[in-house]
Amino acid sequence: MREVTVGEYLDFVSRNRRIIVGGQEVDLSPIEVRRLEPSADELTDVSTTIWSFPKRGSWATHRGDYRGNWPPQMARALILGYTEPGEIVLDPMAGSGTTCIEAVLLGRKCIAVDINYNAVMLTHHRLYYLVNALRKQGALPGLDAGGEGTGVQGYRVFHGDARRLDEIRDNTVDLVATHPPYFNIIGYGGNVDGDLSNARTLEEYLEWLREVAGEIYRVLKPGRYCGILIGDTRVHGHYVPITHYALEVFLDAGFILKEEVIKIQHKMKTTREVWNRLRKRNFLLIYHEKLFVFRKPGVGEDTGKLRYSMKLPVVKLMV
The domain locations on the chain are 32-87+96-109+160-299
55 vs 77: CA distance, rounded Å = 15
The pLDDT-based confidence of 69 (bands split at 50, 70, 90) is confident
The pLDDT-based confidence of 143 (bands split at 50, 70, 90) is low
Mean pLDDT of the chain: 89
Give Cα separations from 89 to 15, 47, 155, 181, 192 (angstroms). 31, 22, 9, 19, 25
User: What pLDDT digit, counting tens, does each position of 15-60 carry?
Assistant: 999 998 877 899 999 999 999 999 999 999 999 999 999 998 999 9
The pLDDT-based confidence of 313 (bands split at 50, 70, 90) is confident
Q: What is the pLDDT of residue 188?
A: 43
Cβ neighbours around 204 below 10 Å, total: 13
Q: What is the pLDDT of residue 124?
A: 98
User: What pLDDT digit, counting tens, does each position of 250-292 carry?
Assistant: 999 999 999 999 999 987 655 555 556 665 678 899 999 999 9
Laid out side by side, the sheet with 155-159 consists of 2-3, 155-159, 109-114, 88-91, 173-178, 220-230, 288-295, 256-264, 50-52
What's 248-303 look like in SS3?
HHHHHCCCEEEEEEEEECCCCHHHHHHHCCCCCCCCCCCCEEEEEEEECCCCCCCC
Of the listed ranges 55-64, 75-84, 275-284, 300-309, the least confidently predicted one is 275-284
The domain at 32-87+96-109+160-299 falls in which architecture? 3-Layer(aba) Sandwich (3.40)
